[in-house]
Each structure stands twice: as C-alpha cells, then as structure tokens.
Amino acid sequence: MFVTAGTHDSGLARELSSARAQLASQERQIQELNHRVANSLQLAADMLVFEQLRSRDPVATAALEASRARLVAVGELHRYLYDHADQPSVELSPFLAGLCQAISATTGLNCLIQADLTRVPGDMAQQLGIAINEFAINAAKHAYDGKSGGRLVVTSRRDGRDLVLTVADQGKGLVDGVAGSRGKSGLGMSIVAAIVRDLKGTLTVTGDHGAAFTIRTPLPASTTVIDRSFQSWSND
C-alpha cells in the first residue's frame, strides 16, 4: 500500500512538473509572439516612411504619414497592454502619458495630459487610445497645417458613472462648425464614430479658440477581459 501511494505521489509530482514546464514554454512563446507583433508594426511603419520619402504627391504623402502614425500608436498600445496583461484594468493616467509621448514623436504636436485616477478595462483603454490618436492626426493636419509644435491637450475625468475624455487643440478652429474641412467624414472620423458607438457613448465637437472633441461614455460596472482584436469597431 505504501509503495503504491509513494508511486502515485511521484507520478503526481512528475505531472505537476511537466505542467509547469509546459506553462512556462507557452508564456515564452506568447512573449515572443508579442515581440514579433510589435516589431512587425514598427517595420511596417518604417516602410511607410521610405514610401513617403519617395512620394511626390502631397495627398499620397499625407496619407502615408497618417498611416504611419496609426501603426506607431497601435504598436505603443500593444506594448503597454501586454506589459499590463496580468491586470484586470488599466490606470488611464500613465496609459495616456505613454500614448502622448508616442503622439508627440509621430505628429510633432506638443501633447499634454490632464487625467484623474480612473481605471478602465484594457479593451476600453485601447479603443480610447485609437480615438485620441485619430484626433491628434486630425489636429496636426488641419489645425496646424502640418507644422510642428502645436498644442494638444488630452483631458480625462470621471463624472459619476461616466468617463469624459476631451482632446483639444489651439489651432485655427472649425470652419462653419462641424461642417467645415475638419468635420468631413474621412477615415479617421469614421474610426472614431465606430469606437464611440461601440462604447455606447456620445461625441461632442466645439470650435471656440481651436477645436475640442469630447467623448462621454459609461464606465463598465466591472472590468472585462482584455480584447486586442480591434474587430469590435473595424468591421463597422
């Protein structure tokens, strides 16, 4: 009986050791996959830079630059969320600070963050980050005509059960309200509109002394599993 019990315990120990080894191997594979994804995004962004330098068409050059900024932002979001994948939610203040640095690097804007202490699910942080980046691309192109140094202020605060996020510039403002050039339904604003719908929020645009885009969205009652697929809005 004692031999059988000892043999059984030894077998359980081997199975446990094997399971731990398999888990460690899977974690290494996931880490390597995430590094490859991040590196691939950076490589794609670099290739767009080369194409941008070769282009002689101003419209094509602007489109390539916007695409590069989107890829860089997605890469930064991916890195941040992967580094915090073990947490059920994301603190917005440091998340937005890192995003702001990436925006400054890719657009030349002087990006500033004013955020209170609010935690949101990872998928929500990701969607808000993409929306902020689109507002930044819009400001760099339309508010400041591609000139570097323009001011962009991202404000995030909790208002009861809602999150209120505002991205404001101090550029030349809107022409005829939202009916002007910055109100046209381009790719960037289509992405933002899809994100706002997915978050069950609202988007408000004002044009005094620049332009301000405000997203108000309900905060979930509890955190959810992080979803990095982008499918929730890319198919809209």
In terms of pLDDT, which residue wins out, 117 or 181? 117
Q: How many CA atoms lie within 13 A of 169 on its CB side?
A: 27
Q: What is the pTM of this model?
A: 0.68
Question: Which of 47-56, 69-78, 117-126 ranks highest by mean pLDDT?
Answer: 117-126
Kindly report the backbone phi and psi dihedral angles of residue 206, in degrees, each rounded to the nearest multiple of 5, phi listed first: -125, 155
What backbone torsions phi and psi does residue 181 show, to the nearest 5 degrees?
A: -60, -35
Confidence category of residue 1, pLDDT binned at 50, 70, 90:
very low
Q: Angle at the Cα of 19 (from 17 to 23), degrees rounded to 5?
A: 115
Question: Which pair of structure tokens corresponds to residue 200?
Answer: 């069950």
Q: How far apart are CA 90 and CA 110, in angstroms?
A: 24
Give the model confidence (pLDDT) of 183-221 as tens digits: 555 778 888 999 999 999 999 999 878 999 999 999 988
Domain boundaries defined on the chain: 2-234
User: What is the per-residue pLDDT across 100-124, written as a single tens digit (0 to 9) for each?
Assistant: 988 898 889 999 999 998 999 988 9
Task: Label residues 117-151 b or e (16+ Cβ within 10 Å = b).
Answer: ebbbbbbbbbbbbbbbbbbbbbbbbbbbeeeeebb
Instruction: Report which of residues 122 and 21 the model is more confident about.
Output: 122
pLDDT at 15: 67
Contacts of 79 (CB under 8 A, 6+ apart): 38
Asked whether residue 66 carries a pLDDT value surpassing 90, the answer given is no
Could you please state the CATH topology (level 3) that the domain comprising 2-234 is classified under.
Heat Shock Protein 90 (3.30.565)
Three-state DSSP string of 26-79: HHHHHHHHHHHHHHHHHHHHHHHHHHHHHCCCHHHHHHHHHHHHHHHHHHHHHH
pLDDT tens per residue, range 138-148: 999 889 988 88
